[in-house]
Structure 1
Amino acid sequence: QSLDYDCCFNEPYIHMLEKQDSRTSSRNEAVRWVVTLFVGIFTGLVALFIDVVIKELMGLKVGIVKNCIELLSVKGYLVLSLLVLLAFNLSFTFISGLFTAAEPLAAGSGIPEVKCYLNGVKVPRVVRLFTLVCKAVGVLFSVAGGLLVGKEGPMIHSGAVIGAGVPQVTTCTLYIYRDKRDFASSGAAAGVAAAFGAPIGGVLFSLEEGSSFWNQMLTWRTFLCSMTAAFTLNLFLSGTRIEGENPSSDNTAWGSFYQPGLLTFGQFKCPEGERGCQLWTVLDLFVFIVMGVVGGLLGALFNAINTRLTKHRMKHVHNRHPAIRVLEVLLVTMVTTIVAFTAAMTLGECKEVAPIVINVTSPVEQTVQYFFCPNGTYNDMATLFFNTQETSIRQLFHQEATFSLQSLGIFFLLFFCLSCWTYGTSVPSGLFVPSLLCGAAYGRFVGNLLKMLPGFEHIYSGTFSLIGAAAFLGGVVRMTISLTVILIESTNEISYGLPIMIVLMVAKFTGDLFNHGLYDIHIELKGVPLLEWHPPHGMDRLCASDIMETSLSYIYPHTRIQSIVSILRTTRHHAYPVVTENHDSMVERRARAKANTMVSNNIKFRNENSLTRANEQMRRIMSRRSAEIKILEDQEQRSRSGSMDSRNAEEDINFTLMTSSVELYRGLSPTAEDHGFGDKFKPLTFHGLILRHQLITLLSRGVCYAENTPSSCQPTLTYEELTEDYPRWLDIHDVDLTQLHPRMIMDVTPYMNPCPYTVSPNTPVPQVFKLFRTMGLRHLPVTNDMGEIVGIVTRHNLTTENLKQKLKDSQHNA
């Protein structure tokens, strides 16, 4: 289903506008700004809740596990420590799995669903309050349970839900779906701002990955929402004392703003006393480009493996009992815990602790892990596995106490496989932070390796770690502009702008040679009709008549209740053309067209060549017959040349005719032999569109009149009454029809949209695509020069797969 962002200019809406004055319009605009402000505040508070609770749960778990390891390692009972860790992780992820079992849309990062919603696709329950609760609470336990997932991705979904939900408490929104979409865009941007401390990056994220319709006022409101979310989170974090963070502050240090977001990378600077050290030089750009290529290849490999895993899950896991999904989560948790514990115990190296500070808030002694190492040393593998992922990223960015190449390589391989397996399980799981950590390990490996070579003694390993993180994340999600700004804002180092931008572009172009970004892959696997920014190449050879739907369900301006109920119960369309039958002869139609100077001045073809629904069907039938004749000629030629067994020739011809007819012309009925062809495809003059929920609302309110009375006796509805059921529109089966006589008549003309966007049959597909996407349409009628409807274009007609198939069919018929 699609969302209709176009405004319906029916009589109730026009009367509502006429009653408004300038003060009412100003008040409505002020309410929109206030609602935007509250969306940012609530998003920041949800981010604060998620961050604080996760750190408390992680602190509780790691503290108990540390004590167990210290006590039991002396006695040789490390298996008991592993069991304690397993008990914590399995318990946490089991709780998370229960929340996603209650609301399946809470699983994953939610970014593909938000992207679909902002693109105009109606994803059921994606912006419900229950989804927000399951998402926010579920991510607490999935992250604390040791799964290789992030909390930053779900924050974007949470912000979009808040943005779509807060405006519903007001009554001042005029364009229902359009305002809801705009607030959801602002909420998604606020989620990015709260997660990364990147307000500008949040605005660009909504623009690049989300909304298809944008304007200057929406830009200002989205920026306000992002700044408000970052400020709110900053304000409360500054006064919330968490162990290990900002030790110089006290509980009353409100307003210090030392941590702009949930994920901050700290300040990049060379260690004091190290001569010749530079963050990066021009010569390093060549190395960065190579790292971008490798990052794109790794991202493409990550996406390919995850795609196969997702297809397997959709076939064998997701369509079964929810308990199977929870069991899969527990299996992934158990394997991840055992691998991390075993790698830290057997594969880690003990390194001396350097008396330095890794960022502006935490000294290195408070972030390293000493598992299985003597005093004065730390376990580099345990430091990467048993810290929060954000802390591990900062370790790789800033800690100059070198991680060994062996530990970095093993950690990268293990983390790559486990995170690829984890993403797509039935728990709230972000992709940003795991990809950043995996890429940071890859970049730190390259930096440490280069530092061993002559001529590279000046390099700063943290820079290469940052570039590696950007390369891998860009290779996975294929974001460019917004991700560049997010990383720049997170590092507070504008000098990194050029290398990050180059690396992200190289990684995207390299990965696009093999597959799409992971978010787009998951959208495609779910069969969501997402419209890209541009139609596929070669679509200028097609026009609207080649892709439109010609089998229409329509109603008349004055229709009996019985007919309306029958149409609503037997079809699932969300809009119906309002038409009248054209009984004029061809001569009268030509004369009427010539008399209408406006029509005759704008038509691009002669009147006798005007497309109608009848001759469009006849054209397709003749095309079908031509294809059948061509198949017969080809088969006959092959039979004569001796390349086909004569005994099987007739059978093969019949089979080819049957399969080609089914595949190429599926649903193109009726055939020429069908009766009533002229009656079924008679010319229909188009008057407007009426939506399904409008018809159901009119039925539920008893808007109709008896056939022996004038239509002026029909009750009227105001705009408020017409939209009273939003957003829970009634279903036709829920309407009580006992009070309505089937022979009564409904006049739909006051409630239809008399001026929807329309295109002519010969409009090129690129123009149809641009109009449909940029204006956020749901239905686009196709009318000829006589004002007769000949078809309708919907979202499914404009998907990449359908357009490519139509182009292939057109070339085949030519």
Structure 2
Amino acid sequence: FQSLDYDRCINDPYLEVLESMDNKKAQRYEAVKWVMVFAIGVCTGLVGLFVDFFVRLFTQLKFQVVQSSVEECTEKGCLALSLLELLGFNLTFVFLASLLVLIQPVAAGSGIPEIKCYLNGVKVPGVVRLRTVVCKALGVLFSVAGGLFVGKEGPMIHSGAVVGAGLPQFQSISLRKIQFNFPYFRSDRDKRDFVSAGAAAGVAAAFGAPIGGTLFSLEEGSSFWNQGLTWKVLFCSMAATFTLNFFRSGIQFGSWGSFQLPGLLNFGEFKCSESDKKCHLWTAVDLGFFILMGIVGGLLGATFNCLNKRLAKYRMRNVHPKPKLVRVLESLLVSLTTTVVVFVASMVLGECRQMPSTGPSGNDTLSLQGMSEDVNSSIKTFFCPNETYNDMATLFFNPQESAILQLFHQDGTFSPVTLSLFFLLYFLLSCWTYGISVPSGLFVPSLLCGAAFGRLVANLLKSYIGLDHIYSGTFALIGAAAFLGGVVRMTISLTVILIESTNEITYGLPIMITLMVAKWTGDFFNKGIYDIHVNLRGVPLLEWETEVEMDKLRASDIMEPNLTYVYPHTRIQSLVSILRTTVHHAFPVVTENRGNEREFMKGNQLISNNIKFKKSSILTRAGEQRKRSQSMKSYPSSELRNMCDEHIATEEPPEKEDLLQQMLERRYTPYPNLYPDQSPSEEWTMEERFRPLTFHGLILRSQLVTLLVRGICYSESQSSASQPRLSHAELSEDYPRYPDIHDLDLTLLNPRMIVDVTPYMNPSPFAVSPNTHVSQVFNLFRTMGLRHLPVVNAVGEIVGIITRHNLTHEFLQARLRQHYQTI
């Protein structure tokens, strides 16, 4: 995995842009950014509208056909035919969803772990491509319509993030012929901000919760955040919410501009019946039960995560290595099992309960009617006489959103046995489903499973303890929050999302307490479901902060001391060799100071390749590395060795020769070649292995490749001033897919030509001292969104470099064990 680089490269082309920037251009740039976040919000809302419309259409078609068949076959005794019809619909839809995942494998799952990684600074291949969002939207449409226990809310977050990443670029690798000359936002920094806005817009569209979406983007990974970004993300979330609300209200109710349906998942209004004077939404006494429900929810969530982790490992060992057709077969097997369980449970395990006289939602049926009108009625009367309904069929034989509303607002009762069986079946099947090769969300299945648990608790308290003041809908909501919190371990954002979805601020305290208790309980056993899947993929995700004991380590303990570096003036032959034999994405720009370093000193200044740096004294890098290197038993097989420079270093320069002329001649010395098969000689001294390197800046692989592709170089007989110059727009023209060095046509390049990299390197990157504590290194790296962090000693010599890999929990733990062994 590669890291994103949130830090700006302050090189000469960028400085030229800054010099030409005035207030008018800055305001225009800011205005374009506001327009883009608004467009991202609108497009995300339209994606949600597309998914919701066709899910409702296909679900309506399926349930109408199957329900009429069940009613007919109840009398004729041909229920097997009804089951075959339901299997035909579900297997077809799931098969189409699996085929879309074969086209773009990263479209599988909810996409939240991948987006969490991206916001954390890790570039997951293909996660924000146009093909991904197309396969994701169509795939989740078929998955939900196919009756799998999945939700469309998680994939909405992924879809919004892809829209945020792609829309400001005005180009796509899938649509190569469509090109727009749009010079803005050509960096990881801008792209990551738009992905944050898109992910927040996805949450806002899914739940009608713009503030919760903003907090989700902040809580779930965004390393760098500021007030300006907060306003833009909130504005984007608002645009997505009201776009979806406007069109859904108009399409479903014909009242354009009424804004009656804020999100894809609408919890409806929680309100006690006017005829029940004893009813309260919740009381202080209920908080004790909510805390206990939070503990149970955390335990259930930890169990869910443990089982799903074992299933994911089994798939990685036995399913993924096999042909892709096996993944499709697994998805069809899950669909077949789910369909049979739903059908049999609805027909056999349900109980006939008395029909509530006040209607499905008490005194306000608007929200429930809006969710259930596509299936004619959310109450199912399979095999039950008049004025009664089948409680199991009402939960299983409905869209998941309608089942959630039944548990939240149904005045009629559900049998405790029915709720227990429903919870158990849903728990196991949703755990099995999450992770198969279809786009699938986890929010709605977790909410439905938890709502059944909460409703069961309410029924038991009413029946066996006699607490008549209890409002069952509140306990269903708290149960949903407890189970969802136990699975995903979100706190701040999930609290606000649920409050906004219920439109009831008085639920803030019980929801927050329940989520906190559920998270603390679950964290005692394992991590959240998204973190588990991130770890299974081996993504180097950085947490908010390190453990306290890690401060026993310093930057010198975790850095990589074996560096691959370039000179300010380097031959094309050496650049190509380095780029082709390494996979590093940045290289320190250095000058070497060896035995003749004292002769290079003049007036307390080190003059090197036309760059002047004040320096009080020269400390060799070898001296700092000797202690850490004494225990080395092996070395990399690739070494940098400059035979020409070694020969020059042994010659005493003429005492009366002009020093500046020496340095100007020295800059043409070829950069050392790489010999991948050559091991270092045992006769080499420590000084030869770790030569002192004066650090001048960092240059990225993409910049070096761009310089080579565009032929930016000069010959030995010329001055570096004759080298052509690239503008900032030309440097970033190929973003985000720069040319590959292996595709470079070497016949067009003269290997003896020299490249002056100094105008294009970043001369002032963030750097730390070798004695910096790990917590300081970690905070700097994460909050500033860095990709490389040089370790530079007191005299300006680079002694190592730190990347994301050096800050992962596993790496730090290994170095801490080494530290304890050396004490």
Normalising to structure 1: TM-score of the pair?
Answer: 0.90
Deviations 1:437-481 (A, max 9, x none): 000000000000000134411101111100000000000000000
Structure 1 position 226 matched with structure 2 position 237: yes
Q: Would you identify which runs of 4 or more consecutive aligned residues in structure 1 move more than 6 Å?
A: 585-596, 598-601, 669-672
Aligned equivalents of 1:579, 1:218: Cα separation in 2 = 36
- The correspondence for 1:374, drawn from 359, 373, 385, is 385
Report the counterpart of residue 776 of structure 1 in structure 2. Answer: 785
- The correspondence for 1:735, drawn from 725, 740, 744, is 744
Residue pair 2:7, 2:786 contacting (<8 A) in 1 also: yes
Q: Which one-letter code corresponds to 2:713 in the other structure?
A: C
- The correspondence for 1:177, drawn from 179, 188, 191, is 188
Q: Relative to structure 1, is the Cα distance of residues 333 and 613 closer, same or farther in structure 2, using a 3 angstrom cutoff?
A: farther
Report the counterpart of residue 48 of structure 2 in structure 1. Answer: 47
Report the counterpart of residue 763 of structure 1 in structure 2. Answer: 772
Report the counterpart of residue 651 of structure 1 in structure 2. Answer: none
Report the counterpart of residue 82 of structure 1 in structure 2. Answer: 83
Aligned equivalents of 1:229, 1:586: Cα separation in 2 = 62
Q: Relative to structure 1, is the Cα distance of residues 705 and 599 closer, same or farther in structure 2, using a 3 angstrom cutoff?
A: closer
Once the 2 structures are TM-superposed, how far is the Cα of residue 586 of structure 1 from its aligned partner?
8.5
Aligned equivalents of 1:460, 1:96: Cα separation in 2 = 40
Report the counterpart of residue 132 of structure 2 in structure 1. Answer: 131
Once the 2 structures are TM-superposed, how far is the Cα of residue 807 of structure 1 from its aligned partner?
0.7
Once the 2 structures are TM-superposed, how far is the Cα of residue 710 of structure 1 from its aligned partner?
1.4
Report the counterpart of residue 122 of structure 1 in structure 2. Answer: 123
- The correspondence for 1:235, drawn from 208, 226, 246, is 246
Aligned equivalents of 2:600, 2:767: Cα separation in 1 = 21
Report the counterpart of residue 802 of structure 1 in structure 2. Answer: 811
Aligned equivalents of 1:173, 1:512: Cα separation in 2 = 43
Report the counterpart of residue 260 of structure 1 in structure 2. Answer: 262
Report the counterpart of residue 668 of structure 2 in structure 1. Answer: none
Deviations 1:315-341 (A, max 9, x none): 111222211111100000000111111
Aligned equivalents of 1:156, 1:519: Cα separation in 2 = 13
Aligned equivalents of 2:509, 2:560: Cα separation in 1 = 48
Q: Relative to structure 1, is the Cα distance of residues 599 and 511 closer, same or farther in structure 2, using a 3 angstrom cutoff?
A: farther
Aligned equivalents of 2:800, 2:681: Cα separation in 1 = 19
Normalising to structure 2: TM-score of the pair?
Answer: 0.89
Aligned equivalents of 1:613, 1:76: Cα separation in 2 = 87
Aligned equivalents of 1:704, 1:319: Cα separation in 2 = 46
Once the 2 structures are TM-superposed, how far is the Cα of residue 678 of structure 1 from its aligned partner?
2.8
Structure 1 position 58 matched with structure 2 position 59: yes
Aligned equivalents of 2:75, 2:508: Cα separation in 1 = 50
Residue pair 2:330, 2:436 contacting (<8 A) in 1 also: yes
Once the 2 structures are TM-superposed, how far is the Cα of residue 618 of structure 1 from its aligned partner?
2.8
Report the counterpart of residue 560 of structure 1 in structure 2. Answer: 571
Q: Relative to structure 1, is the Cα distance of residues 269 and 538 closer, same or farther in structure 2, using a 3 angstrom cutoff?
A: same
Secondary structure, counterpart of 1:738 in structure 2: helix
Alignment of 1:52-201 (within 5 A): 52-169=53-170, 171-173=182-184, 176-201=187-212
Deviations 1:715-742 (A, max 9, x none): 1111111111111211001222222111
Q: Relative to structure 1, is the Cα distance of residues 670 and 498 closer, same or farther in structure 2, using a 3 angstrom cutoff?
A: farther
Structure 1 position 707 matched with structure 2 position 706: no
Once the 2 structures are TM-superposed, how far is the Cα of residue 256 of structure 1 from its aligned partner?
1.1
- The correspondence for 1:619, drawn from 612, 616, 627, is 627
Report the counterpart of residue 591 of structure 2 in structure 1. Answer: 580
Deviations 1:414-452 (A, max 9, x none): 000000000001100001110000000000000000001
- The correspondence for 2:491, drawn from 480, 485, 501, is 480
Residue pair 1:389, 1:433 contacting (<8 A) in 2 also: yes
Aligned equivalents of 2:388, 2:51: Cα separation in 1 = 33
Question: Which has the higher mean CA deviation after the structures are superposed, 702-711 or 32-41?
Answer: 702-711
Q: Which one-letter code corresponds to 1:48 in the other structure?
A: L
Alignment of 1:786-801 (within 5 A): 786-801=795-810
Alignment of 1:515-554 (within 5 A): 515-554=526-565
Aligned equivalents of 1:556, 1:718: Cα separation in 2 = 22
Report the counterpart of residue 641 of structure 2 in structure 1. Answer: none
Aligned equivalents of 1:595, 1:559: Cα separation in 2 = 19
Question: Which has the higher mean CA deviation after the structures are superposed, 66-75 or 337-346?
Answer: 66-75
Aligned equivalents of 2:472, 2:111: Cα separation in 1 = 33
Once the 2 structures are TM-superposed, how far is the Cα of residue 594 of structure 1 from its aligned partner?
11
Deviations 1:218-275 (A, max 9, x none): 000011000110000011011102xxxxxxx4x3x10111111010111111123112
Q: Relative to structure 1, is the Cα distance of residues 114 and 593 closer, same or farther in structure 2, using a 3 angstrom cutoff?
A: farther
Deviations 1:46-85 (A, max 9, x none): 0001011000000000111011111222121111111111
Residue pair 1:548, 1:793 contacting (<8 A) in 2 also: yes
Residue pair 1:536, 1:803 contacting (<8 A) in 2 also: no
Root-mean-square deviation (Å): 2.2
Report the counterpart of residue 37 of structure 1 in structure 2. Answer: 38
Q: Relative to structure 1, is the Cα distance of residues 797 and 674 closer, same or farther in structure 2, using a 3 angstrom cutoff?
A: farther
Residue pair 2:186, 2:735 contacting (<8 A) in 1 also: no
Aligned equivalents of 2:439, 2:686: Cα separation in 1 = 54
Report the counterpart of residue 307 of structure 1 in structure 2. Answer: 309
Aligned equivalents of 1:454, 1:40: Cα separation in 2 = 49
Aligned equivalents of 2:715, 2:682: Cα separation in 1 = 40
Structure 2 residue ranges without an equivalent (≥5): 171-180, 608-612, 634-677
Secondary structure, counterpart of 1:757 in structure 2: coil
Q: Relative to structure 1, is the Cα distance of residues 282 and 173 closer, same or farther in structure 2, using a 3 angstrom cutoff?
A: same
Report the counterpart of residue 642 of structure 1 in structure 2. Answer: none
Q: Relative to structure 1, is the Cα distance of residues 590 and 516 closer, same or farther in structure 2, using a 3 angstrom cutoff?
A: farther
Residue pair 1:670, 1:677 contacting (<8 A) in 2 also: no
Q: Which one-letter code corresponds to 1:800 in the other structure?
A: H
Aligned equivalents of 1:447, 1:426: Cα separation in 2 = 37
Residue pair 2:157, 2:202 contacting (<8 A) in 1 also: yes
Aligned equivalents of 1:592, 1:92: Cα separation in 2 = 78
Residue pair 1:119, 1:211 contacting (<8 A) in 2 also: yes
Secondary structure, counterpart of 1:66 in structure 2: helix
Once the 2 structures are TM-superposed, how far is the Cα of residue 19 of structure 1 from its aligned partner?
1.6
Once the 2 structures are TM-superposed, how far is the Cα of residue 172 of structure 1 from its aligned partner?
4.7
Secondary structure, counterpart of 2:405 in structure 1: helix
Q: Relative to structure 1, is the Cα distance of residues 175 and 569 closer, same or farther in structure 2, using a 3 angstrom cutoff?
A: same
- The correspondence for 2:398, drawn from 379, 382, 387, is 387
Report the counterpart of residue 399 of structure 1 in structure 2. Answer: 410
Deviations 1:75-115 (A, max 9, x none): 21111111111111000000000000110110000000000
Report the counterpart of residue 664 of structure 2 in structure 1. Answer: none
Alignment of 1:401-550 (within 5 A): 401-550=412-561
Aligned sequence identity (%): 63
Once the 2 structures are TM-superposed, how far is the Cα of residue 16 of structure 1 from its aligned partner?
1.6
Report the counterpart of residue 368 of structure 2 in structure 1. Answer: 362
Report the counterpart of residue 274 of structure 1 in structure 2. Answer: 276
Once the 2 structures are TM-superposed, how far is the Cα of residue 551 of structure 1 from its aligned partner?
1.0
Aligned equivalents of 2:334, 2:693: Cα separation in 1 = 59
Q: Which one-letter code corresponds to 2:328 in the other structure?
A: V
Once the 2 structures are TM-superposed, how far is the Cα of residue 671 of structure 1 from its aligned partner?
9.0
Secondary structure, counterpart of 2:3 in structure 1: coil
Q: Relative to structure 1, is the Cα distance of residues 802 and 155 closer, same or farther in structure 2, using a 3 angstrom cutoff?
A: same
Report the counterpart of residue 17 of structure 1 in structure 2. Answer: 18
Residue pair 1:31, 1:172 contacting (<8 A) in 2 also: no
Aligned equivalents of 2:437, 2:164: Cα separation in 1 = 24
Q: Which one-letter code corresponds to 2:331 in the other structure?
A: V
Q: Relative to structure 1, is the Cα distance of residues 700 and 595 closer, same or farther in structure 2, using a 3 angstrom cutoff?
A: closer
Aligned equivalents of 1:784, 1:410: Cα separation in 2 = 65
Once the 2 structures are TM-superposed, how far is the Cα of residue 495 of structure 1 from its aligned partner?
0.5
Aligned equivalents of 2:534, 2:603: Cα separation in 1 = 49
Structure 1 residue ranges without an equivalent (≥5): 242-248, 602-606, 626-668
Aligned equivalents of 2:45, 2:75: Cα separation in 1 = 45
Aligned equivalents of 1:175, 1:615: Cα separation in 2 = 42
Aligned equivalents of 2:368, 2:133: Cα separation in 1 = 32
